[in-house]
Amino acid sequence: MSEIPVDPARSALMAKIGPRDTRPEMRVRKLAHAMGLRYRLHRRDLPGKPDMVFPSRRVALFVHGCFWHRHPGCKANRLPKTRVDFWEAKFQGNVERDARVTAELERRGWTVLVIWECETRDEDHLRAVLSAIRSRPPASSQDPGFGQERAEAFTSAP
């Protein structure tokens, strides 16, 4: 069976989907701010550039799209009907990268949380997750790894 050619119009549409400031991410950010939580966005010094970082609690939060990151059991976790080999490889790469990023953040002493796109429509669920973050005790300078990534950035030789 021959591969179906790429539709330029669809390709242009898909290229417009950005990794930042998505509607699900904005829902989480708005509620977190309303609940008094303060955070940093897309910290480049952390693996995977988490969508939201709560440095005082050492929590890295990702807001994952169900389609792109393969939310198990979600109806949005579907495989396109065209270019199946391409999409299977793409999705497998995304899942593997997510696992590597999570493992590295945890190795550095961060708690990693994922909120799925479909979960952002449930405000009660979002409140529960954000309340759990808020109730975590602040990280102290006595914690192993606290500020480690910042210290490494300053101690590397030029």
Is residue 136 in some structural domain?
A: yes
Is residue 75 in some structural domain?
A: yes
Task: Find out whether 104 and 47 touch, Cβ atoms under 8 Å.
Answer: yes
Q: In what order do the strands lie in the sheet with 111-116?
A: 40-41, 52-54, 59-64, 111-116
The predicted-structure confidence for 80-133, as pLDDT tens digits, reads as follows 888 899 999 999 999 999 999 999 999 999 999 999 999 999 999 999 999 999
Task: Find out whether 52 and 40 touch, Cβ atoms under 8 Å.
Answer: yes
Q: Is the pLDDT of residue 5 over 90?
A: no
What's the total number of domains in the chain?
Answer: 1
Is residue 7 in some structural domain?
A: no
- The per-residue pLDDT of the chain, averaged, comes to 85
Instruction: Report d(CA 3, CA 84) in Å as an integer.
Output: 9
What's the predicted TM-score (pTM) here? 0.78
Q: Is the pLDDT of residue 144 over 90?
A: no
pLDDT of residue 16: 62
Task: Find out whether 40 and 53 touch, Cβ atoms under 8 Å.
Answer: yes
Q: Calculate ∠ Cα 69-102-55, nearest 5°.
A: 115
Mean pLDDT, range 32-47, rounded to an integer = 96
Query: Which structural domain, as residue segments, surrounds residue 127?
Result: 19-155
Is residue 30 in some structural domain?
A: yes
The predicted-structure confidence for 148-157, as pLDDT tens digits, reads as follows 544 444 334 4
